[in-house]
Amino acid sequence: MVKVPVRLVSWDEIVKWSWGLAKKIRQAGYNPGVIIAIARGGYVPARLLCDFLGIENLISIQSQHWTEAAKKSERAIIKFEYKVNLENMKALLVDDIIDTGESVILARDYIIREWKPKELKIAALQWISPVAKIKPDFYYLEVKEWVWFQYPWTRLEDVTQFLKRMLTEESKNKKEWKYIEIIRKFIEWYGIEVDEEYYKEALRTLIEKGLLEKRDEIFIVKV
């Protein structure tokens, strides 16, 4: 039984979804003068929308709610606050996915209050409708059952955090692991497979951070 449902997303899917989102924005007649990417997940979709909509101006805001893959903090925060004058511009706030929506709401309210755009609309590649506290003005896919979408720009980061969580939990009963055992358990936990380089680099990172120790061909959990 998969403990954390995960869906791998490819680069080709990201381009396809961004094209589809751009078409919806264009069909609605919304012509923003600036796109605002929510860091970090909104960077790639925002840049693609700039390309597909012919928009030159791109800025960002870091509104953060997830401390690690599929694990959120108690509240969203704005990091690195700064001011931009958008008084005469229509703006489009872009994120990859709206799950709880709390980071988007925080970013929206900050932008309206501090940057004062002429108009602000929200766009996302995906909207998890059953749990989101906000519905974006534009979205490409509505997701009706929660799943962690594993985007290509966070693959190593997520695999590292997934392995950390899995090995920490499993270490209650097992401290020593062979490489193949780790991979099999990872697939069992998350229901996905990634390229081997991600597993190896993630394990190297966990060793570097002192969470794992390697003796010969055995990985020993230190937490």
Q: What is the pTM of this model?
A: 0.89
Residue-wise pLDDT tens digits, 111-128: 999 999 999 999 999 999
Hey, what amino acid is at 73?
Answer: S
Q: Identify the bridge partners of residue 62 per DSSP, sorted by sequence position.
A: 39, 79
DSSP state of 209: T
Domains and CATH numbers, the chain: 9-146 (3.40.50.2020), 152-221 (1.10.10.10)
Residue 29 confidence class, pLDDT cut points 50, 70, 90 = very high
Q: Token digits for 212?
A: 């794992």
Alpha helices (H) along 54-195: 102-110, 155-170, 179-190
Q: Average pLDDT in the 193-199 region?
A: 96
Residue 70 pLDDT: 46
Residue 64 pLDDT: 72
Residue-wise pLDDT tens digits, 143-171: 998 889 999 999 999 999 999 999 999 99
Share of the chain above pLDDT 70, in %: 95
DSSP state of 153: G
Share of the chain above pLDDT 90, in %: 86
Residue 65 pLDDT: 65
Nearest alpha-carbon partner for 45 in 25, 17, 65:
17
User: How long is the chain?
Assistant: 223
Residue 110 pLDDT: 95
